[in-house]
Amino acid sequence: MKRITEGRILRTIVYAAFCLAIVGCATGPAGGTGGTGDTAGQASSGGEDYPDWYLDPQSVYPDDTYLTAIGTGDSRRDAEQQALSGLSQTFEAQISVDSRTSERYRELMTSEGTMTETEIQLAEDTSVQSNQTLLNVQFGEAAVDEVGRVYVIAYLERLPTAQVYRDLINRNGNQVGRFLSEAASSDRLVREYAYLSAATVVAGSNEVLIDQLNIITPGMAQTIQLPYVYEDVMQRYADMASQMSVRINITGDSDGRVTSILRAALSEERFPIVESDPVLSVTGTISVGPIPSNADFESVRWTMSLDMAGPDGSSLVNLDEEDRASGVSEEAARAFAYRDIEEAVARDFVDAMRGYFDGLVLSN
């Protein structure tokens, strides 16, 4: 059996808009042999017919020029995903961004015109389990062994990829600078907070890119001059958040469980909870009561209505949700209900609140 010897086709996965400006982006490394499309050659178990990039990756992809990882799977797609995951683990970023923050980053940067919808979509395609998103990843040829396992190599070409990262880092940096300027000139506390919150989202995502750039091409990140200091941005945000005091008043919450859930969720945003003179007010109602059920389970239905008002009393965010929960006893059913309520507050109410603040930025 032999592996194929047709020309290599490289599939650029992310940030393709920059590839036209990158020399060599559409060609493979010197000395490599390749496959076309999703086809792959076969390699014998003896090893003599395995491709060079599998037997000795450094001979085809020198370490001073490339970062590489080999993946295997039942299909080319599976092998590519494993290779991409392995490549991302090389970075082991010290700063991670959760999916909700990543979504806010994408919305802010797309709406502000810093990135296009196409660039955002391409970037999303490289999300892998290690919580890394890598730019300019490419895949080389695939090979298939005698039992049908597919092998493929993923790689980053260091210098062109570093240039892509540097460009995006600078664009993010300029956006952070604009957000900080808007915050400084705002005459409303809520609007100032919104711009500082947006600045932390973009600055945090930029830290991940800088962290990755330091691995791709050590030293290049030190040549970037950003219009802000990350630690100063985070401190300004923390100082502003400490002024966003909130008063909570929930009707029907006799045991204070929903109030405690809201207090914990708002504390994650660094908002202090106060009894008087608040900037924001959260009011609402909660009801949890038994409903008819079968002989094996007890069930309850819960309804919750929440509203966040601004300094002038106008409604900023509202949430109305209801559901049912079941358990072996009414006490167990109520416990499940409050777990669902906690998830609704953490997911839906907090997301709606963040969406309101981001909306102030995007509507300007």
**What does the pLDDT look like over 223-276, one tens digit per residue?**
999 999 999 999 999 999 999 999 999 999 999 999 999 999 999 999 999 999
User: According to DSSP H, which parts of 125-256 are helical?
Assistant: 158-185, 189-216, 230-241
Mean pLDDT, rounded, for 146-168: 89
Check residue 293 and give its pLDDT.
Answer: 82
pLDDT tens per residue across span 60-77 = 999 889 989 999 999 999
How much is the pTM?
Answer: 0.74
Quote the CA–CA distance of 242 and 63 in Å, as a whole number.
47
Out of 132-141, 150-159, 349-358, pick the least confident.
132-141
Question: How far is Cα 130 from Cα 86, in angstroms, rounded to an integer?
Answer: 9
Cβ 213 vs Cβ 220: under 8 Å: yes
DSSP per residue, 257-274: HHHHHHHHHHHHTTPPB-
CA–CA separation, 195 and 176 (whole Å): 9
Name the packing angle between helices 158-185 and 99-111 (round to 10°).
80
Backbone φ and ψ of 47, nearest 5°: 100, -15
Residue 32 has pLDDT above 90, yes or no: no
- The rounded Cα 362 to chain-centroid distance in angstroms is 19
Angle (CA) 352 358 361, round 5°: 150
CA distances from 189 to 237, 240, 357 (A): 12, 8, 11
More confident residue, 176 or 16: 176
Could you list the beta-strand ranges (E) of the chain: 41-43, 66-73, 138-145, 150-157, 246-251, 280-291, 298-309, 315-327
| pLDDT of 3 higher than 50 | no
pLDDT reported for residue 263: 96
**With left for phi above 0 and alpha for psi between -120 and 50, is residue 47 left, alpha or beta?**
left
Topology classification of domain 246-362: Double Stranded RNA Binding Domain (3.30.160)
Domain ranges across the chain: 16-158, 162-237, 246-362
Mean pLDDT of 5-15: 29
Q: Report yes or no: 207 and 95 within 8 Å, Cβ to Cβ.
A: yes
Task: Give the Cα separation of 284 and 307 in Å (integer).
Answer: 6
Rounded mean pLDDT, 83-104: 72
* Alpha-carbon gap, residue 291 to 299, rounded angstroms: 6
Q: Is the model's pLDDT at 58 over the cut of 50?
A: yes
Residue carrying structure tokens 């947006």: 198
